Amino acid sequence: MDTDSLRLFVMAAERLNISAAGRELRLAPAVASARLAKLEQELGAELLHRTTRKVSLSLEGADFLPYAREILAQADAARAALGRGSGGITGTLRFAAPSSFAQLHIMPLLPEFHRLYPELTLDLRLSDTRFDTIDGSFDLALRSAPLTDSSLKGRKLSDDTRVLCASPEYLSARGCPETPVDLPGHDYIAWSNLAARYLINTAGETALLDPSTMTCRVILDDGNAQREATIAGAGLSINSLWSVAQDLGSGRLVRVLPDWRANDQAVLWLVYPRSNVLTPKTRIFIDYLIDRLGQRQDWRD
């Protein structure tokens, strides 16, 4: 099976535009269309629906797409192992990450990363909505959870310590809790599932933080919005240290119950499907993020 035709199909499927994919591969539109038609004839399936107005992925094409990507990844990895790559890291890396983390810590790194790897395109899909698995269209994802999914492999980026915070103004007006038993009745900026969670202190004692015993007039599903609401004085909230370390250092936020943290053993993992080959572009990005972000002392309790 011709890998050049597979690469053309993958690019056309991602862009839903055969001509644009052909141009990127320096092919005339007629040549690109002919190559895709030959691939479809070889496979005995229509991969892309074409009309005069648009291109769409067929059901067979959608089923075939992850396998085409895997074949290309295997081929790229094999060439890299033999030292016969293209001479530089090229292509597109599809990376999924929480929006709040990416805005604070990945966006500032982009200029340097692109100077180092000018031919690598990052396709970033950012959302703070929790996900359980990586969609087949992603090469890599950042997730904060124990790595229990057997279909995934990953490397640890950092611990994800989560602490209780409030603004100085809120604490001045409402008082500062001294122990977990002082939390009921306080305003609480809750995550969207309103789940109770355990806290643990430096002595190993645990206590329950239950939003149902607190006043939850703000419920959010976005980490940056939660942080900003806390700075504005809307109440107490639990935040990752990677999100609020600078605010704690500047005094915009105060750590409440400083001997306590969330007892969830959360870790920031860079994960990818176990079935995927770790391609050079993915390995490069993992190594880069760990080098730049993995040693942050202010993210540790």
Selection from 144, 244, 143 nearest residue 189 by Cα: 244
Domain 3-81 and domain 165-262 have a common topology: no
* Percentage of the chain exceeding pLDDT 90: 65
The Cα 52–Cα 54 span in angstroms is 6
Q: What are phi and psi of 206, to 5 degrees?
A: -120, 155
- Answer yes or no: are the C-beta atoms of 205 and 179 closer than 8 Å: no
Write the pLDDT tens digit of every residue in 149-159. 656 788 999 99
Domain ranges of the chain: 3-81, 91-160+266-296, 165-262
Could you give the CA distance from residue 224 to residue 126 in angstroms, rounded to a whole number? 12
| Phi/psi at 146 (5° precision) | -60, 140
In angstroms, rounded to a whole number, what is the distance separating the alpha carbons of residues 143 and 155?
11
Q: Class of the 165-262 domain?
A: alpha beta
Q: What is the fold of 3-81?
A: Arc Repressor Mutant, subunit A (1.10.10)
Query: How confident is the model over 215-251, as pLDDT tens digits?
Result: 999 999 888 999 999 999 999 999 999 999 999 999 9
Cα gap 9→15, rounded to integer Å: 10
The pLDDT tens digits for 2-59 are: 889 999 999 999 899 999 999 989 999 999 999 999 999 999 999 999 988 889 999 9
